[in-house]
Structure 1
Amino acid sequence: MSDQPPTPSPFDRLYRATLAPLRRYLTRLLGDSAEAEDVAHDAYMRVYPTVQKEAADKPEAFLYTTARRLAFNKLKRRRIGPFIADAAQPELAASQAPGVVQTVIARQELQRLEDAISELPPGCRTVLLLRKVELLSHQEIADRLGIAISTVEKQHARALRLLRASLSVSPATADTASEKEIGS
């Protein structure tokens, strides 16, 4: 075995090089760092399959174009605004927005999911993202990756099994287990 760390994938290199600048750019566009973080996440999810296959000539430009379009869509939705049932007494209308607690929990769950996906073996991760993000069939994934459909099915099943196992451990349980390991 060699002592050299594995070579980062094209997506890993793009992610590391652009994460902070992309978030700053989106924060300037949207005026809200939380929304900028969400849009950046969506943009990375959309460009991942193309960048990972090295199919984009200029991955950074592709990422920024995707992020800018997502940000503009978010700004358009903001201008439309929510429908208020009783315009005469808007303060009496129930808010449909999630509360702070729900937002924090959702972000924590999303972070756990992202971490779990990033820990998947590369083949499983690629198949899972093509299936769940790009909504490709097993046959389409097999054609795109040049592998047998049975391999796609096995990698997809393995990815789901590994995610389920990873996510079934609650954060509190994981923290307690870590504390026990440290105390041992």
Structure 2
Amino acid sequence: MLENYYRELVCFLNAKLGNRQVAEDVVHDAYLRVLERSSDTPIKQPRAFLYRTALNLVIDDHRRNALRQVESLEVLGSEERYVSPSPLNSLDHGQRIDMLQRALAELPQLCRESFLLRKIEGLTHPQIAEHLGISKAMVEKHIVNAMKHCRVRMRQWDAH
């Protein structure tokens, strides 16, 4: 259902932001936010909900960037920024990485490759489509499906 709005939302954000790469990243993050939603209440207007989520992410990013620009150099140099995570957090992070790798291994090859080329290599959808010899629409579907699959599997494993 939500996959139907992907291109439309990318075009909308591209027009607002003037950068297709950033627009695609925001849309991916918006999809993740919607998929991570903990509420069991069905979304009555999925298109509007997805758009609002994406716009909120753009606004949040803008605010974060504005705050970063006014931070003093003293704050940036403070030791608090370099505190290493506790061993428990590191272990949890390592376990989550392992779970993500297992979830990705369950995906069909083109789906997994599309996702990794986008998220790890940073390729654009047209570049991935050319690299894999598939349409841009298939690349978009593969990436959304991979995110959905990983989210579901991570939740399942977290529940145990």
> For the superposition of Structure 1 and Structure 2, which TM-score range results when normalised by the shorter chain?
0.3 to 0.5
Which structure has the bigger radius of gyration? Answer: 1
TM-score by length of 2: 0.47
Larger relative contact order (CA 8 Å, sep ≥ 6): 2
TM-score by length of 1: 0.41
> As a proportion of its length, which structure holds more helix?
2
